[in-house]
Structure 1
Amino acid sequence: MTGLDGQEPGTWLLDKIDAREQALTRQIEQPQAEIDTFTARLRELEEAAEHLRITRKTLLSLADEVEADAEPVTPPVMLPGHSAYRQILDIFAALGRPLRARDLCEALDLPIAPKNTEKIRAKLKRLVNQGILVEIEHGLFAQPRP
């Protein structure tokens, strides 16, 4: 018995199966190529996300280091040897406002005389030079704000 094209029935059927298999193989190749492309793209995106995680971790670590370094280390205040400097700072702390040399003379119960105000002004200027006080305007002194 022969098939439609004169071949044996088994051969004709095998040819049909071969043709169908080749068609399916061609159909498989296109989605497989897309899968390969998507897989490669997925790897790239995962790698980029991992780099961002590493960058974030590094930046947070550096920020912690900067914060730790940024904590001000205030050296102890080294006052000049005379006790008047401690008294002046105690008055600033007690009154909590800017003062002039004349105000300090009054607070220290010194007579308001040019020699006393000049001595106090010189001490105030020395404290300004050491960074312990600030002169917010000419002749007006205050403790620096934290």
Structure 2
Amino acid sequence: MTSGDLTLGAVLVRLEEREREIAAQADETREQVTRLTAVLDELGRAAEEVRITRKTLLELPDPAPPAPSPSAPELPDGATYQEIMVVFAQADGPLRARGVCEAMDLDPAPNNINNVRLKLKRLTGRNILAETEPGLFALPLP
């Protein structure tokens, strides 16, 4: 036999080494399978919890629609009403129609005062403003 030829003892040693390598790989693969099985079990539990939660939520009765809020009556259409509300928001106290005209930079002519007074009365009718005394308007107290 030449040095390149393997003896039976050398082949058996190599087979034994290969067997140990395969056994080590098998052990490592088993550990990976164990870890992955644990992860898979946890994902299964999480998915089941989501299914239970979804089923529970679907079984709940539909909530009643929210009751309309009585707090803020709706302003009539028109930019003038918005301007009037800004004037009252900035006012220190009740105002007369003439004072509202002046605060809005309107000429305090009788026609303008009467138009503003009508708008103030309309806002009073909708409980957006309060007429504290005849001709004197203010934001209502909460």
TM-score (norm 1): 0.49
TM-score (norm 2): 0.50
Structure with the largest fraction of helix: 1
